[in-house]
Structure 1
Amino acid sequence: MSAIFLKRFLQRPFQVASIIPSSRTLIRRVTGKMDFSQPRVIAEYGPGEGCHTREIVRRMHPDSSLILFELDPEFAQHLEEQFRGDSRVTVLNSDAALLCQELTKRGLNHCDYIVSGIPFSILEPEKKRELLRSTYDSLAPHDHSAFIIYQVTNELVGHCGHFPRRESEYCLQNLPPMFVTKFYKTANGHAHGLNGHSRNGNGNH
């Protein structure tokens, strides 16, 4: 699975942002922050070759929906081929900023979870703000609803003050090591499978 990842990294290093897919440990940390016991609407930004996607699909409830936003056309085609037989999965070769419109198209009001591995640090400030606001608006107003990111730096925390609560941990078992941060839509969210430190939106434990 890593051949296509390496190829696209060499062709588009700033968009792909990593030379190898995520480790099994990082994938478990990310998916462990979601409750799959009920039908959920999930979106993933920048799934790449699908290493996190495969685990999400494996754990998802039969009545869940997963919408993938992948800008790279070759990755998008690769994802289409992987999940062609699963009606729960929709692959879109388009910008994650269109999430609200895509939910409306499908008669869906909100997402329960939004997962992202895209390198927010390279986005233009205005683009970053728009995407974060759209992400927040697209999440259901439920205690479990959350935006889950894995990033090399945790700089995005400084741009997510509109999320009332967050939890973050550092995954050393990945190359490169990653911060995994869960931003809750409401102040009363509860963690699912968190192994690291908890921190709320104002920085207090």
Structure 2
Amino acid sequence: MNSIQFIQEYLKTPRSVGAIWPSSSTLAKAMVAPVRFDQATCIVEFGPGTGVFTERLVEKLLPHNHLILIENNELFYESLKKKYSRFANIHLIYGSAEDIVSHIQQKGFTQVDFIVSGLPFTSLPEDVSTKILTESQRVLSPDGEFITFQYSKKKFSFISSYFSNYQTKRVVWNLPPAHVIRCSFQ
């Protein structure tokens, strides 16, 4: 998928795509850096979109890691399916992150070690955001992490309220600049 297609999808559904331009490789590195692949069994990515974070995750996957990609945009899902359906440890789901519990159970998991989220919490309806974070909280392992990014600080306290601890890091090499938020229970 190219940048023009990405912009077209944004124009069709700005609330769910959330950005006018794909994330930078610098942001992708910052989002994936906290994932402890040596310790993780199940990693979930919410809203992989064009796969910028997915590519970084796939580069670092170890044989014992399973990556579950949950995408609700049909064009993005089909593009990801073409790229990743041949991998036995990458599972694609066309659906909503709100249903993470049933999605991971469908793939044989009860817990998730890391959730990497590209979802635009600032533009999602509050009830959708609440359900996604509540359900994520239910499935995240005690030492797991929820990693997301936002363009503004508007939703920091909302997102972090579901977890005991959080850290932020600003990534200026992105259009627009972004804040990576790492949330955990420890």
Tell me how large the CA RMSD over aligned residues is.
1.4
Q: 1:26-80: per-residue Cα shift (whole Å, max 9, x none)?
A: 1111111111123421111111011110110110111211111111101100000
Between 168-177 and 116-125, report the one with greater CA deviation.
116-125
User: SS of the counterpart of 2:142?
Assistant: coil
Corresponding residue of 1:180: 180
Corresponding residue of 2:58: 57
Q: Which ranges of structure 2 fall in alignment gaps of 5 or more residues?
A: none
**1:151 aligned to 2:150?**
yes
Between 163-172 and 9-18, report the one with greater CA deviation.
9-18
What is the TM-score with the length of structure 2 in the denominator? Answer: 0.93
How does 1:86-105 map onto structure 2 within 5 Å? 86-105=87-106
One-letter amino acid matched to 1:167: Q
Cα contact 2:85–2:92 (8 A) shared by 1: no
One-letter amino acid matched to 1:149: T
In 1, Cα distance between the equivalents of 2:113 and 2:153? 23
In 2, Cα distance between the equivalents of 1:148 and 1:39? 14
Pairs aligned (count): 184
The alpha carbon displacement at 1:12 in A equals 2.0
One-letter amino acid matched to 1:171: V
Q: Which ranges of structure 1 fall in alignment gaps of 5 or more residues?
A: 188-205
Corresponding residue of 1:7: 8
Larger-Rg structure: 1
How does 1:166-177 map onto structure 2 within 5 Å? 166-177=166-177
Cα contact 1:45–1:68 (8 A) shared by 2: yes
One-letter amino acid matched to 1:158: S
Cα contact 2:40–2:114 (8 A) shared by 1: no
Between 5-14 and 117-126, report the one with greater CA deviation.
5-14
How does 1:79-90 map onto structure 2 within 5 Å? 79-90=80-91
User: What is the identity percentage for the equivalent residue pairs of Structure 1 and Structure 2?
Assistant: 27
What is the TM-score with the length of structure 1 in the denominator? Answer: 0.85
Q: Which runs of 4+ in 1 moved over 4 A?
A: none
In 1, Cα distance between the equivalents of 2:124 and 2:11? 19
One-letter amino acid matched to 1:29: A
In 2, Cα distance between the equivalents of 1:52 and 1:169? 16
How does 1:1-205 map onto structure 2 within 5 Å? 1-142=2-143, 145-159=144-158, 160-184=160-184, 186-187=185-186
Cα contact 2:27–2:174 (8 A) shared by 1: yes
User: SS of the counterpart of 2:31?
Assistant: helix
The alpha carbon displacement at 1:158 in A equals 1.5
